[in-house]
Amino acid sequence: MKVAVVGATGMVGRMMLKVLEERQFPVDRLFPAASERSEGREVIFRGKPVRIVSVMEAVEAVPDVALFSAGASVSKEWAPVFAENGTVVIDNSSAWRMEKEIPLVVPEINAATITAGTRIIANPNCSTIQMLMAIAPLHREYGIKRLVVSTYQAVTGTGVKAVTQLDNERRGISGEMAYPYPIDLNCLPQCDIFLDNGYTKEEMKLVNETRKILGNEDIRITATAVRVPVKGGHSEAVNIEFEREFDLERVRSILAGTPGVILCDNPSERKYPMPIIAHDRDEVFVGRLRRDFSQEKTLNMWVVADNIRKGAATNAVQIAEYMISSGLLR
C-alpha cells in the first residue's frame, strides 16, 4: 500500500506519521510531501529516513490514500487532483467539511457515510470531534435538543508559531507573535476570525459540523471558543438539553461503554479530565457529569482530548483503517 502525507512537516503532519507508525498501518511505500522549501529534506519513519517530495511527485506516485494537513487552499487545489487519479483523500482542513457530497467523518459515529465511490473524506474540526465522541451516544439514547458549548483550546491548535509565542513569553523572550495579544497568563476569547454574525469561524464550525455529523439540522447550538495557555489538549464545557428525560447513572454507563471514551468522573477524589492527562492520548476524557438544576432534561459535562491526535491525526488514520477493514481501500 502506498500512502502520501501532504503537509508532512507540519505539527499535524508529523503526528500523522507517528500515528501511522504506532498503529502499524500497512504502509509499504511512504510519500511525505511538503512545500518547496522542505522538498529534498527527510523525515524519519519506522526508524529510517524518507525523502520529502513535492505534492506533484506524490500525485504521480498514485498512492492508495493521501492524508492531507496542509491548509484549506492546498486541499482545494490538490485533493481533486489526487482523487481523479483514484487516490482516497482524507483531508484535515476546513476545505471540504461542509460540501454536501463530501462525508464528514468521525469513524466511531458515522463511518457508514463513506461509500465505495468516495474519494474525498473530510476530517472534522478538533473541537467538534471530541465533543461528538462524548455526546453522540447520548444523542442516540435521549435525543439532543440544544447544546451550549464553551471551549478552552490549546495553542497547539494554532500551530508551531503559537507554541513558540507561548514558550518565548514564558522565558521573557521577544519574538514573532501568532496572536494579537500575549497568550501566557492570559485567555483570548477568539479562535479564528470573526464573522458577520459576531461569532468566530471556530464557533460556527462546532455548530455546522455537529449538525452534519449527527444528521440533524434542528439541534440548536451556540458556542464560545477561547484560546488558553495550554499545550496538551482542548477542554470543553458542554451543556446538553435532551428531548427525553435521562438517568445520570445510565449516562455514566453509556459513556463508560463507549469505545474511544474514558469516563473520568469522581469529584470526591478530585478525578476529572485535564489536558495534562489527555496529552499524547487518543481517547476522549469525560467527567464533571451533573444535572443542570436550572432546566429540566439538561446535563453538564466536561470533555478533554488531545487536539493533535484524536482531534486531527488519529481520526484521519482511523478513517483509513475503517476503509481497509470494510474493503473500501485495498
Q: What is the pLDDT of residues 261-317, one digit of tens each?
A: 999 999 999 999 999 999 999 999 999 999 999 999 999 999 999 999 999 999 999
**124-134: per-residue pLDDT in tens?**
999 999 999 99
What is the C-alpha separation between 285 and 240, in angstroms, rounded? 17
Other CB atoms within a 10 A radius of the CB of residue 259 amount to 9
Residue 195 lies in a domain: yes
Cell of 66: 493521501
Same domain (yes/no): 155, 74: no
pLDDT of amino acid 330: 76
pLDDT of amino acid 175: 96
What is the C-alpha separation between 83 and 220, in angstroms, rounded? 35
Residue 214 has pLDDT above 90, yes or no: yes
Q: Domain of 42: which CATH number?
A: 3.40.50.720
Could you tell me the maximum CA-CA distance found in the chain, to the nearest angstrom? Answer: 60
Same domain (yes/no): 30, 172: no
Same domain (yes/no): 101, 223: no
Let me know if 116 is exposed, middle or buried by CB neighbors in 10 A (0-12, 13-18, 19+). exposed
Local confidence band at 4 (pLDDT 50, 70, 90 cut-offs): very high
Same domain (yes/no): 149, 175: yes
Same domain (yes/no): 268, 147: yes
Residue 50 lies in a domain: yes
Same domain (yes/no): 178, 243: yes
pLDDT of amino acid 23: 98
Residue 299 lies in a domain: yes
Query: What's the domain count of the chain?
Result: 2
Instruction: Identify whether the C-beta of residue 226 lies closer than 8 Å to the C-beta of residue 199.
Output: no
What is the C-alpha separation between 330 and 319, in angstroms, rounded? 14
Q: Is 194 helix (H, G, I), strand (E, B) or coil?
A: strand
Write out the catalytic residue numbers. 126, 234
Residue 110 lies in a domain: yes
Same domain (yes/no): 282, 316: no
Query: Whose CA is closest to 242, among 150, 138, 327?
Result: 138
Residue 236 has pLDDT above 90, yes or no: yes
Residue that has been written with the C-alpha cell 445510565 in this structure: 250
What is the C-alpha separation between 122 and 206, in angstroms, rounded? 15
Same domain (yes/no): 110, 19: yes
Full-model pTM: 0.97
Residue 199 lies in a domain: yes
- Which residue type occupies 128? T
Residue 177 lies in a domain: yes
Quote the domain boundaries for residue 223.
Answer: 127-307
What is the C-alpha separation between 116 and 205, in angstroms, rounded? 27
Q: What is the mean pLDDT of residues 139-153?
A: 98
Same domain (yes/no): 80, 215: no
Which residues are paired to 147 by β-bridges? 221, 240
pLDDT of amino acid 77: 98
Residue 330 lies in a domain: no
